[in-house]
Amino acid sequence: MRKLLLFISIIALTSGCTIKYSFTGASIPPDAKTVFIADFKNMAPLVNPSLSNDLTEALKDKFVNQTSLKIGDENADLYFEGTITDYNTQPVAIKSGDIASQNRLTISVKVKFVNNKDPKANFDSNFSRYQDYDSQNSLSDVEDQLVSLIIEDLIDDIFTKSVVNW
């Protein structure tokens, strides 16, 4: 009889949870089924023509591949919109003779997140990431690789802030 009561208690406790978890550590309200990710607007003074699309698609891929959410319309349970606010390169390591030995590519974005199931999780935040590269390389030689790495870091930061509650 004790084992039966213990079993029933465990079932009752675990079925009453209000957060669903994934293997990525994401905690999403159980009634959230859809996510909408608006195209990121590129307002940076220096424009990389593919950055807006690459960033938008990477965020969609992250949610499709690491959660059970489906891409929805503007009335989705989770909603993202963003703006690329900066895209620049500058010297960071100067060696003798005022010559840069390292340059840094930085990408900054502003993201608005609306959780229609849990408004306390809403945010409007800035994210910025960078990658350094040897000044003997021109930006055009390393740009695609650097942008890819920076986008990956930015997407991880946005995903973590929006749905990972550590």
Please state, as a whole number, how many other Cβ atoms lie within 10 Å of the Cβ of residue 125.
Answer: 14
Specify the pTM.
0.82
Per-residue pLDDT reduced to its tens digit, 81-123: 999 999 999 988 777 767 778 999 999 999 999 999 999 999 9
Relative orientation angle of helices 51-66 and 139-163, to the nearest 10 degrees:
40
- Going along the chain from its start, the domains and CATH numbers come out as 2-163 (3.30.160.150)
What are the pLDDT digits (tens) for 110-159? 999 999 999 999 999 999 999 999 988 999 999 999 999 999 999 999 99
CB-CB contact of 119 with 79 (8 Å) = no
Identity of the amino acid at 91? P
Q: Is residue 109 a contact partner of residue 127, using CB atoms and an 8 Å limit?
A: yes
Contact assessment for residue 52 and residue 85, using Cβ atoms and an 8 Å cutoff: no
